[in-house]
Amino acid sequence: IVEATAVTPEGRISPQDLGLWNDEQRDALAPMVAFMQSQGAKAGIQLAHAGRKASTYRTFEPDHSGTVPVADGGWETVGPSALAYPELAVPKALDRTGIEELIAAFQTSARRAVQAGFDFIEIHGAHGYLLHEFLSPLSNTRDDDHGGSLENRARFLLQVVDAIRNEIPSDMPLLVRLSAVDWIDDGLTIDDTVQVVQWLSEHGVDLIDVSSGSNLPAKIPAGPGYQVKFAETIRERTGVPTAAVGLITQPFQAEHILATEQADVVLVGRESLRNADFPIHAAQVLRHKTPPTPIQYHRAYR
């Protein structure tokens, strides 16, 4: 799955982030998609808008942090309400026109993703970015039909889902990444997320990528597979397929999650960054009959 890809320039997390708001970006991504598919892989892309957490310095820039000033290439951020993430700029609260424009932006980015040849699309509705900001009462204090009740707070996400589902082929898988809980009192709960997932399924979502947190700083008991329980709960209570994520770093750990039906898919992030050959390593550890080793490196895998 290609990283969080902004649907507008203002939706980028940092000024250097990937986007898919014009045809030039589509055409640049297409050869990469074709190469992945030529190697037997399925290619997906995660469409996103960073909301009030946009226009920030990259985390590995030691001399800078927080919001990038407009004079240095940053921009005014937006959110459901004029509530800032700690140490970031106060966002502009979106009006109805702004919401409608962003729904259209998600739709046109999805169209370009299809044109680029991607096999599936994931909508980023987690980690304190715009769609999560609308879902959570911690960041959404609106008093219109996009705020207040859970149904209202989920409206924007469902509108984005509808726009994309109507744009892409009917048999193209559509995923949504959610933060199952906010890990903060009065924030999103697992019961809230179960209800949201039921609505998402009714609107044509095929799988939920289950993460957690990051809408506000919180004490999170992170450890190996610490979010798997949320994927399992959602799967059991809704019947919707789920993906487990978060500190899943060992082949037997990932296999156990699948074998015990805690989730339908395991997504491996940080371990893939540490070891680009993790799929080969996992195949060997799990004694896969034909590990997919690159021919030119065959001696390393004897």
**How many Cα atoms sit within 13 Å of 79 on the Cβ side?**
27
Is residue 278 in a domain? no
Is residue 55 in a domain? yes
What's the pLDDT tens digit per position in 100-142?
999 999 999 999 999 999 999 999 999 999 999 999 999 999 9
What's the pLDDT tens digit per position in 9-51?
999 999 999 999 999 999 999 999 999 999 899 999 999 999 9
What's the pLDDT tens digit per position in 68-101?
999 999 999 999 999 999 999 999 999 999 999 9
Backbone angles phi and psi of 42, in degrees to 5: -100, 135
Q: Is 226 a catalytic residue?
A: no
Asked if pLDDT for residue 301 goes beyond 90, the answer is no
Asked if pLDDT for residue 190 goes beyond 90, the answer is yes
pLDDT band at 64 (very low <50, low <70, confident <90, very high): confident
Check residue 288 and give its pLDDT.
86
Contact 128, 74 (CB under 8 A): no
Is residue 299 in a domain? no
Q: Is 277 exposed, middle or buried (0-12, 13-18, 19+ CB in 10 A)?
A: middle
pLDDT band at 297 (very low <50, low <70, confident <90, very high): confident
Check residue 289 and give its pLDDT.
76
Check residue 292 and give its pLDDT.
72
Asked if pLDDT for residue 302 goes beyond 90, the answer is no
In Å, what is the CA distance from 137 to each residue of 104, 149, 152, 255, 282? 24, 9, 11, 36, 40
Check residue 298 and give its pLDDT.
81
Check residue 294 and give its pLDDT.
82
What's the pLDDT tens digit per position in 52-63?
999 999 989 878
The single residue of 57, 129, 226, 297 carrying the catalytic annotation is: 129
Asked if pLDDT for residue 295 goes beyond 90, the answer is no
| Tokens read off for 74 | 């940053």
Is residue 168 in a domain? yes
* Structural domain range at position 52: 2-220
What's the pLDDT tens digit per position in 237-279?
999 999 999 999 999 999 999 999 999 999 999 999 999 889 8
Alpha carbon distance 176, 132 (integer Å): 11
Is residue 288 in a domain? no
Check residue 63 and give its pLDDT.
81
Is residue 201 in a domain? yes
Check residue 62 and give its pLDDT.
79
Is residue 286 in a domain? no
DSSP 188: -
What does the mean pLDDT of the chain come to? 96
Is residue 130 in a domain? yes
Residue 184 is part of a domain; what is its CATH number?
3.20.20.70
Asked if pLDDT for residue 2 goes beyond 80, the answer is yes
Which pTM was predicted?
0.96
Give the total number of structural domains in the chain. 1
First to last CA, the chain: 30
